[in-house]
């Protein structure tokens, strides 16, 4: 039985891992390409050749390929085997997520050329949130837009699936009321009741929610009109600003990396304020989700910041002791989740 290749494309990075057979498969190799995407979707597809050379050098055969696909829109709510019809639908859905979907489509097509006999599976980040109750799903705008697919979708679903699976397999299983905090370059939180997502901070796009490294998180919609009138800012320019020049970078004016900001905060009020805003908004989201869940049994931190910054975890938790929740740190594994779903769909 050959190996499964998991491909995890971000807007400016590409992570990959090759897994052997079994329920808990061995990770045969893994790696990451960073600072790509400036040349468009072709940058991601260009990473495939060196990736496959590494696979071949290890003497491995790829039996199937699983892809993280960030947005499934209203169409896809579970992992799906990829064929021409799926690629065509993803192209139609590209306006839902122009930062990710074009690169992911380019990778799918590049794999089809390089590995024509290997089945491919799309694993959607939005799928974890497919059972959101309507009160969480509906956006407070004219109802006609919901018919066009404009609603809260939520993201980081593969990470959340990984965390839920780890909790289920652990001693005592998964608690009833859990808040999952995936805090990395992209950051979001999910309220999980009996193992299912009932609310989440990201919405129609991954820009919504808490402030992130470069994304703004939630903003007053009136800013669009104000900046258009005062600075002549176009919708495209506003989109670029809130996705690449805001968040921690926008407030600090120096860095989007919390490690840099922690090192500078004693001497740079901008760095200190960026971290304070981040922790404040994440703390607010935890409190709000505790209200949604009717209490909180467990708070889980994950993602690059959540896993590796005990100082920020402590700042976020300050003042939340009244919730009486346990706190855990878990390492998420999106690639393993992709590989498991891929094996299940293709029957390996």
For 196, the 3-state DSSP assignment is: strand
Q: CA 80, CA 155: separation in Å to the nearest integer?
A: 17
Bridge partners for 19 per DSSP: 4, 27
Residues marked as catalytic: 125
Q: CA 27, CA 46: separation in Å to the nearest integer?
A: 23
Helix ranges (H only) for the chain are: 41-46, 48-57, 84-93, 101-114, 134-137, 157-169, 222-231, 235-244, 247-252, 258-264, 269-293, 303-308, 310-317, 334-346
Judging by beta carbons within 10 Å of its beta carbon (0-12, 13-18, 19+), is residue 27 exposed, middle or buried? middle
Judging by beta carbons within 10 Å of its beta carbon (0-12, 13-18, 19+), is residue 165 exposed, middle or buried? middle
Q: CA 341, CA 119: separation in Å to the nearest integer?
A: 13
């Amino acid at each position: 039985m050959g190996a499964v290749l998991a491909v995890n494309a971000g807007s400016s990075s590409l992570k990959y891992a090759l897994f052997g057979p079994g329920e808990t498969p061995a990770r045969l190799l893994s790696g990451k390409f960073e600072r790509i995407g400036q040349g468009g979707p072709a940058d991601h597809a260009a990473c495939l050749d060196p990736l496959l050379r590494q696979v071949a050098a290890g003497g491995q055969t790829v039996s199937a390929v699983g892809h993280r696909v960030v947005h499934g829109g209203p169409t896809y709510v579970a992992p799906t085997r990829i064929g021409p019809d799926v690629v065509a639908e993803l192209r139609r859905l590209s306006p839902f997520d122009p930062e990710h979907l074009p690169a992911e489509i380019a990778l799918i097509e590049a794999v089809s050329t390089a590995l024509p006999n290997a089945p491919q599976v799309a694993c959607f980040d939005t799928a974890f949130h497919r059972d959101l109750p309507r009160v969480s799903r509906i956006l407070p705008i004219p109802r006609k837009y919901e018919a066009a697919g404009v609603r809260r979708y939520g993201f980081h679903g593969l990470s959340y699936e990984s965390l839920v699976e780890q909790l289920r397999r652990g001693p005592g299983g998964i608690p009833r009321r859990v808040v999952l905090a995936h805090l990395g370059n992209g950051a979001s939180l999910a309220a999980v009741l009996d193992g299912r997502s009932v609310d989440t901070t990201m919405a129609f796009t991954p820009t919504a929610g808490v402030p992130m490294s470069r994304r703004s998180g939630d903003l007053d919609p009136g800013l669009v009109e104000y900046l258009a009138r005062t600075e002549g800012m176009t919708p495209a320019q506003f989109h670029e600003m809130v996705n690449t020049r805001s968040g921690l970078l926008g407030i600090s004016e120096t860095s989007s990396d919390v490690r840099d900001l922690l090192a500078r905060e004693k001497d740079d009020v901008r760095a200190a304020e960026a971290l304070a805003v981040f922790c404040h908004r994440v703390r607010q989201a935890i409190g709000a989700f505790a209200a949604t869940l009717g209490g909180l049994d467990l708070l889980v931190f994950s993602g690059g910041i959540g896993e590796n910054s005990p100082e920020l975890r402590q700042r976020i938790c300050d003042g939340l002791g009244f919730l009486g929740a346990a706190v855990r740190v878990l390492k998420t594994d999106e690639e393993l989740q992709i590989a498991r779903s891929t094996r299940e769909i293709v029957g390996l």
